[in-house]
Amino acid sequence: MTAEGNDQSSEEPGFTFSDKRRVDPNTGEVRPEADDQSASAGVDEEQVADPNSDQVSDADQTGSGSADASDLGVDIPADASDLEDTEPSAEPEPGSEAAAHLADLKRINAEYAAYRMRADRERERAALGGTIKVIEALIPVLDEVKLARENGDVTGPFETHVNKLIESLGKLGVEQYGEVGDEFDPNIHEALMQQPSDDVENPTVFLVMQPGYRIGERIIRAARVGVQQPED
């Protein structure tokens, strides 16, 4: 008995090997039984891997529905038709402190707008005054240039500089005026001499002694001219 027990206990357990390779090593073809086993195994794995799929989806749907209001601590009534409009009115009540503050703001805004308009006008007036002073200082030079042109002395490089000077004055808005044949206007002309003529029906400039200069409607110097008056 003892020897037999020892012999049985000394025996090693048997080892078995099952070839589950899908490709037959001898033929190189896929074993049909391997395809059947993999298909059945795939179905079992899906069932085992997601045994509670219906429960999980139900729980997700329940959780997503209740996370809108309860998780945020906000109670949303089923009927919101009775809720009152809590937005503040566009205008405060007359006589209230808010109405007084609003009136003060409107007054300050109007005063600031008027101040800006006055400041813009004063700035433009100052710029115009500076330009006029420069032109008044250049008028004697411009008169000499006019006489030199009439005598044919403005030629060569000197003519180029004179043209640039006139163009620069034009960019500042300075206009030179006064031509023979212009109708005499006492607002922009200064008549230094007059003579009667049968060739004109209205007072007409027949001689420009010194041209006039203006910026827009502002006369810097009136044109000094000779005028022909129609005979009675």
Q: Per residue in 95-139, pLDDT tens? A: 788 888 888 899 999 999 999 999 999 999 998 888 899 999 999
Could you tell me how many helices (H) and strands (E) the chain has, helices first? 5, 6
* The predicted structure's pLDDT at residue 45: 46
Q: Classify each residue of 83-105 as buried b or exposed e, where b means 16 or more C-beta atoms within 10 Å of its C-beta.
A: eeeeeeeeeeeeeeeeeeeeeee
The mean per-residue pLDDT over the stretch 50-71 comes to 47
Mean pLDDT to the nearest integer, 42-54:
47
Contact 209, 192 (CB under 8 A): yes
> What does residue 24 show for φ and ψ, rounded to 5 degrees?
-70, 120
Which domains are assigned to the chain? 106-230 (2.30.22.10)
Helix (H, G, I), strand (E, B) or coil at 14: coil
